[in-house]
Amino acid sequence: MARKTQQNSITSPELIAQVAPANVSLKKEFLGYLKSVGRAESTIYTYENDLDIFFVWNLKENKNTLFQKVTKRDLIRYQSWLINENGNSPSRVRRLRSTLSSLSNYIENIIADEDEDFAGFRSIIRKIEAPAMGSTREKTVWTEEEIKGLLDALLADNQYEKACYLALAVYSGRRKSELFRYKVVCFEKSNLIADGKLYFTPKIRTKGRGKDGKQLNTYVIAEPFQPYFDAWMAYRKKYSIESEWLFPCPADMSRHRFCSTANSWANTFSQIAGRPAYIHSFRHFSCTQLLRAGLPDSVVIEMFGWSNADMLKTYDDRPASDQVESSVAKLF
């Protein structure tokens, strides 16, 4: 039933504590380097998780070998394990390979000339063929009734934060990581435009290279989003949840939540809806609804922050028959 990304289930603090100290030190140095060149916090978080997966596998299946001594045959076994035993998709395996490649490049370009333990090191990841890409997921296309039913079910179950997050995804069209970067101040009444129909928010960091990414003012359709925002804010007030972030991290209110939470919430949405509910499907829904409402392509492009119209074809989930009918109606 579920369209599902295989989640990391092999690491734990206990296992990571057993990783060879030299490998742990190498990982920390590499992550420090990423911070020094301004990589985004979320990117560094992803790199660390990917490296932990490899080093725990290396601990359990490869005698805790030092990274600089890992061979091509070892990496082939790791790749085989990811696909055949851990159930990862080709796309996920390619991402994990890319992290190891980045670490290898760092060693080759920065460390090898200065540390005798890494003397002569050369990256070997690219010498191993990556798994072929393939379509592994069924696309989910939502109706308005399904979205409304899902949101109302979350409210009825007192899951106010999840309902607010889902409503924001649906009525802004932002990516799952971007949704966590909204602050409460984004939804002050002073940010309403178009006779109160849209929130035009202060800039948030969207997809883009570097620590600050691409800074964009974003649009949120106000009326359908407002009830779920209000319900979440009422809950926060009742339980004294104070943070500038709309979705604060419970362990540290000065920070927002991370993508791992969104993945967990998507599983909840799937269970309620009875069909796969991955967060990116709501971005498709948002774009499609704006086009169905008759907004010009140029307006939709502006709202999503795209540089051209090419992405419209990707995110427009309307069947061809709907588009033909709409186009003919405009002619006569």
Q: What are phi and psi of 200, to 5 degrees?
A: -110, 100
8 Å CB contact between 214 and 221:
no
282-304 pLDDT per residue, tens? 999 999 999 999 999 999 999 99
8 Å CB contact between 202 and 185:
yes
Report field, pTM of the whole predicted structure over 0.75: no
Cα(48)–Cα(213) distance, rounded to whole angstroms? 19
Provide mean pLDDT across the span 73-85.
95
Number of H helices, E strands in the chain: 14, 7
133-172 pLDDT per residue, tens? 765 557 899 999 999 999 999 999 999 999 999 999 999 9
Q: Work out the end-to-end distance of the chain between its first and last CA atoms, rounded to an integer number of angstroms.
A: 43
The overall average pLDDT reported for the chain is 89
pLDDT at 2 over 50: no
C-beta neighbour count of 193 within 10 angstroms: 12
pLDDT at 324 over 70: no
Provide mean pLDDT across the span 31-58.
92
pLDDT of res. 208: 58
Per-residue confidence band for 9, with pLDDT thresholds at 50, 70 and 90: low
Per-residue confidence band for 3, with pLDDT thresholds at 50, 70 and 90: very low
Provide mean pLDDT across the span 96-101.
96
pLDDT of res. 332: 47
pLDDT of res. 139: 82
pLDDT of res. 238: 97
| Residue 319, strand partner residues | none
Cα(77)–Cα(54) distance, rounded to whole angstroms? 11
pLDDT of res. 221: 97
pLDDT of res. 198: 96
